[in-house]
Structure 1
Amino acid sequence: MKDLIYVTGHRNPDSDSICAAVAYAEFKNKTSSIPAVAVRLGEINQETQFILEYFGVNKPPILETVKLQVGDLNIDKIHPIAPEISLKMAWNIMKTNNLKTLPVVDENEHLMGLLSVSSLTTNYMDIWDNTILSKSNTTLENIIETLSADPVYVHGDNPRFTGKILVAAMEPTSLSSMVESGDIVIVGDREEAQNVLIDKKVSLMITTCSQCVTEEMKERASKNGVTIISTPHDSFTAARLIVQSVPVSYVMADNNLIFFSIEDLVEDIKDIMVETRYRSYPVIDDANRVIGMISRYHLISNHKKKVIQVDHNERSQSVPGLEDAEILEIIDHHRVADIQTNTPIYFRNEPVGSTSTIVASCFFENGIRPSRQAAGLMAAAIISDTLLLKSPTTTPKDSHILKRLCEIADINKEEFAQQMFKAGTSLKGKTVEQIFHQDFKTFNVEGIKIGVAQVYTMDKEGFMPIKDEMLEFMEKKSRDVDLKLVVLMLTDILNEGSQIYAVGPKKDIIEKAFNVTIEEDTAFLPGVVSRKKQVIPPLTTEITIAKKN
């Protein structure tokens, strides 16, 4: 079972969300006994990609859900078996490890079938006939292993045995009439009977009780193409055991197999287990390799995935399945929203310009120097969220922390900001959906759902050719997810203002909140660059007033 802390920002992550998660994961790994890993809930934008590449940091893996998955459970780590091994060997493995089912895999460890005790014993009783070795294509190696035999003479590189199985317990004259070329015959120490078998060109002669075979007999066997092995068992025991040399592929179940992936949700596989009621089921990894078996008792677990949230505390912005997870901490600089926890947690919320400012403070307050990469990421996030300290959300603490981080990362904030904003604001080659969702958040105010996207750009004219298509997309977004107001902020980083585009049945809220006139679905808001501090509060106030009236 994984004991891991997932550090996650919000959906549709911006630079602060990703950078704060990566940096805080580093902080937790320096201060906690439980390993932490930064994850993301969506695709990163161009700006964040530039930041990660600049400081040589890999993109965090995506986390689809924190609901309990098969891979989170302590499944039985069973080593699968090859299809060519004998029933006897499989049975010994089952007894030694107290197993009832074994997965059978190919050379790539991909599932081929299942061998269970019930199918092994049932098939062993049902399939007996004297041509079973031929039908199952049993190898000489399996027969030797099953009978604890020694090879006396092996004809050819890979002998196969196509005849029936016999025990030579009759007189040589009777034996001659019963034996055919290619048969497998168990014989005692009667040399005359052995000569008859070799003359008949049986494919395999098995001598019992570890009898020696003369050199002359070996030479005759070579000429007639007869393989000879010697077993320490008596004739009865050898006859009883030999059928156990059949390969497991002959009796395994290989149709309509039910198996689970480590990514499958526990809540989904419960019903399948109830309907099928097998004792256990194979589990495969991301490469379709069998890694173990799962049974119903494995589902009895109080394990929950551990989550630390950064840069958000709204359920709608968090990872799916959060209600089934254990929230350990929240590090944020936004308004307190609707996240609820079952136990007290560490909640750090500060009115600063960036979550990364708070994360950096965690390092410095504990006397820990962040790595150059983490310092660079946090510095970039502060520059991004505060628009190089120009945003009204900027505080003296942001400025102070940014200075310390730039020294550790060895960057000039102005030069780096110019490169970052240029890389991040390019709209070239993007679809309207990609542009809109690169930083889009939804809010529920007094029961009214609104959505606000923000796009920073150094070239507003580059947006004009796709303006109409964008408005159509926003209208569709409003209808599809029942948003009463959908806003796109096209923020001019250099001139410090935002062109607002608004659609939806409540778009008049924009005019009242900002005292502007919406013409052709747009208006310019000078000095407005912060969604959190300059857009959401006025909209919230106006909606609340309208609700009361």
Structure 2
Amino acid sequence: MKNIIYITGHRNPDTDSICAAIAYAEFKNKTGKIPAIPIRLGEVNRETQFILNYFNVEKPELVNTVKTQISDLDIDIVAPISPDISLKMAWSIMRKNDTKTLPVIDDNDRLAGVASVSNLASSYLDVWDNSILAKSNTTLENILDTLSAKCVYKPNGTFKITGKIIVSAMHPESTKSIIEVGDVAICGDREDSQLLIIDSKASLLIITGNHSPTDGVIELAKTNGCTIIETPYDTFTASRLITQSIPINHVMSKKNIISFNSDDFIDEIKSIMIETRYRSYPVIDENNKVVGSISRYHLISENRKKVILVDHNEKTQSVLGLEDAEIIEIIDHHRIADVQTGSPIYFRNEPVGSTSTIVANIFFENGIRPSKGAAGLLCAAIISDTLLLKSPTSTLVDELTLNKLSQIANLNIEEFAKEMFKAGTSLDGKTAEEIFYQDFKPFTLNTFKIGVSQVGTMYIEGFEPLKGDMIELMEKKAKEGGFDIILLMLTDILNGGSVLIAAGEHKDVISKAFDVTLTDDGVYVPGIVSRKKQIIPPITAALSKLK
């Protein structure tokens, strides 16, 4: 979609990532000129879903990539044409719209073919076929339009040409030798020739020069079932133009049509364009209905998707195709990592416990009150990310902001937190994979590839039956993903500590980083609840000593 700002958190989104994106989209829509929509890069976890349900908010749209698509470009919007319009009409539309091709649609508005200038030219450059009107089932309306003619007489029933085209510019006796039943005859003002043509059972008499037939000619036409029209053009011009009345479906391309879908990615269609080299290509939607046409010049100044990153600034954690997008803002509370931009942007990074704290204060600093729903989401995210202000990442700013938001949301913080943690931390019925990917983030630390998953729970004892499956999953992830260390933080929300389970070639670094001994690849470390502040820094320091 053109002129849209996509606001996204990180992959394997947590509550802060989702809620910050939704709330910041509300802020941008209240203050900006370009519409903003929140998106997500994965499925929401139980906690987040509980929060969305509680405040009656829809979860953001799932997006897999922000690579540039055809729908992002200003493609040519040309109304598709009907297959029964004349060549003359098609050429007129091409000139009016300064285009060389036109999509042709069927009765259901779906792509049926493509008409191009070369199609029109071939109808003149090929050996002329004087039976072309009959073969193409040209309509009387097309002939009248092409010759700027008016109908003098038409018998009842369906108009149909079955013969060839002749020009009666000779003596009537000579015309008699060539005219046949069902022919189309172009004639001047000679009444004897007109009577001969009608008497020979011609299907259509075209009288040129704006000459009107006599009553006797019309009466004979009624007797013989011959249609009569008169045109202002002379005989030469009329004979030259009449083949332009054939319907476009007789010459258009119908087979092996190359078209693109509006959701196709630009880097995928470039090679097809290079190989085929047509002037333009129809663009259709998911229902095969034509929405426009695209040419090579559209790719020169391709419009990139506009993206705002919240709750992360690390490329490996972000949406696929980010290098093809235009990052216009970053709102985060993590370390500054490796996302690069081509020009200066608004980058707000603060050492607070939650990105939602920053988003809330952006509202307040601009004198804007978040809606009750947005305030509730921001409250929930702050509670989640700071473990109800118990995390070492929590600050006075988080506390003050949470209290201010709770008044807007009319929320009892303590009671809501209990409900939220209870709904989100149960491990019952979850597989090892569901638990592990609930909040997994990759990092690059001193050239080492690290993956850390954090899961908060009020029922830490419920994890024991899953431990074997979890270690197997983590070892597989480390091997297949090229991770030096994979770490699971199973955080005890009530007691303020975490079980650390490690896998990977350098998992012993965990013992050195936290001065603990891993037993069966795991150990409980009291007081450790923050991945950002208590896990990543010690691991970084321990890894630096390996060099």
Deviation by residue 1:442-487 (Cα, 9 ceiling, x = unmatched): 0111111111122333445655555444333322211111012222
**Distance change in 2, residues 1:140/1:462 (3 Å):** farther
1:119/1:434 CA distance change after superposition, 3 Å: farther
Which one is further off, 291-300 or 137-146?
A: 291-300
| Displacement after TM superposition at 1:421 (Å) | 3.1
Verify the 8 A CA contact 2:73 2:302 in the aligned structure 1. no
Cα–Cα, structure 1 residues 411 and 158, in superposed 2: closer, same or farther, change >3 Å? Answer: farther
How has the CA–CA distance of structure 1 residues 157 and 320 changed in structure 2, closer, same or farther, with 3 Å as cutoff?
Answer: farther
Distance (whole Å) between structure 2 residues aligned to residue 234 and residue 296 of structure 1: 43
**Alignment match, 1:388:** 388
Q: Matched residue of 1:186: which SS? A: strand
Over residues 183-227 of structure 1, what are the superposed CA-to-partner deviations in whole Å (9 max), with x where a residue is unaligned?
Answer: 223334444544444444433333333444566765664565443
Using the TM superposition, name which of 488-497 and 344-353 deviates more: 488-497
Distance 1:360 1:213, change over 3 A: same
Query: Given the superposition, is the C-alpha separation of residues 530 and 224 from structure 1 closer, same or farther in structure 2, using an over 3 Å criterion?
Result: farther
> What does the per-residue CA deviation read over 1:116-144, in whole Å, with 9 as the maximum and x for residues that have no partner?
22331123221520111222222222122
| Equivalence for 1:242 | 242
Partner of 1:318: 318
1:441 matched to which residue of 2? 441
Distance 1:535 1:147, change over 3 A: same
Q: What is the match of residue 134 of structure 1?
A: 134
Say if 1:513 and 1:102 are closer, same or farther in 2 by CA, change over 3 A.
same
Deviates more, 1:369-378 or 1:298-307: 298-307
Between the aligned partners of 2:373 and 2:227, the Cα distance in structure 1 is 68
C-alpha change, 1:198 and 1:58, in structure 2 (3 Å) is farther
| Separation (CA, whole Å) in 2 of partners of 1:116 and 1:294 | 14
Aligned pairs (5 A) from 1:236-315: 236-301=236-301, 304-315=304-315
Change in CA separation of 1:210 and 1:325 when aligned onto 2, cut-off 3 Å: same
- Aligned 1:125-524 pairs, distance under 5 A: 125-126=125-126, 128-156=128-156, 158-213=158-213, 221=221, 224-301=224-301, 304-426=304-426, 432-460=432-460, 463=463, 466-524=466-524
Partner of residue 23, structure 1: 23
1:482-526: CA deviation from partner (whole Å, max 9, x where unpaired): 012222233333444333333222222233333444333333333
* Deviation by residue 1:70-111 (Cα, 9 ceiling, x = unmatched): 333333332222222111001111222322222223345433
Number of residues of Structure 1 aligned to a counterpart in Structure 2: 547
Mapped partners of 2:89, 2:443: distance in 1: 63
481 and 6 in structure 1: CA distance in 2 versus 1, 3 angstrom threshold: same
Any conservation in 1 of the 2:25–2:36 contact (CA below 8 Å)? Answer: yes
| Distance 1:200-1:52 versus aligned 2 partners, 3 A rule | farther
Match of 1:543 in 2: 543
Is 2:172–2:196's contact at 8 Å kept on the other side of the alignment?
yes
Q: Larger deviation: 365-374 or 198-207?
A: 198-207
Deviating more after overlay: 83-92 vs 415-424: 415-424
Q: Which position in structure 2 is the counterpart of 1:40?
A: 40
Matching of residue 115 in structure 1 with residue 119 in structure 2: no
Deviations 1:236-291 (A, max 9, x none): 22221110011112222233333334444444444443333333333334544333
Q: Which amino acid aligns with 1:366?
A: N
| Cα root mean square deviation, aligned | 2.9
TM-score, normalised via structure 2 length: 0.90
Q: 227-236 vs 448-457, which deviates more?
A: 227-236
Distance 1:157 1:418, change over 3 A: farther
Comparing 385-394 with 396-405, greater Cα deviation is found at 385-394
- Percent of residue pairs identical: 61
- Partner Cα separation in structure 1 for residue 112 and residue 90 of structure 2: 15
**Structure 1, unpaired ranges of 5+:** none
Greater displacement, 132-141 / 15-24? 132-141
**Residue identity matched to 1:386:** T
Whether the 8 Å CA contact 2:155–2:227 is kept in 1: the answer is: yes
- Deviation of the 1:163 alpha carbon: 2.1
What do residues 53-73 of structure 1 show as CA deviations (whole Å, max 9, x unaligned)?
333333333444444443333
Quote how far apart the aligned CAs of 1:432 are: 4.2
How much has 1:156 moved relative to structure 2? 4.9
Residue 237 of structure 2 aligns to a residue whose secondary structure is helix
Looking at structure 1, the residues matched to 167 and 455 of structure 2 have their Cα atoms a distance apart, in angstroms, of 86
Contact 2:9–2:310 (CA under 8 A) maintained in structure 1: yes
The structure-2 alpha-carbon separation of the partners of 1:183 and 1:348, relative to structure 1 and needing over 3 Å to count, comes to: same
Deviations 1:291-335 (A, max 9, x none): 333333333328554332211111211223333444333211112
Q: Structure 2: 5+ residue runs without aligned partners?
A: none
How far does residue 52 in structure 1 lie from its aligned partner after superposition? 2.8
Q: 1:475 to 1:201 in 2, by over 3 A?
A: farther
Q: State how far apart, in whole Å, the 2-side matches of 1:64 and 1:156 are.
A: 61
Counterpart of 2:7 in structure 1 is 7
1 CA distance for matches of 2:524 and 2:206?
A: 96
- TM-score, reference length from structure 1: 0.89
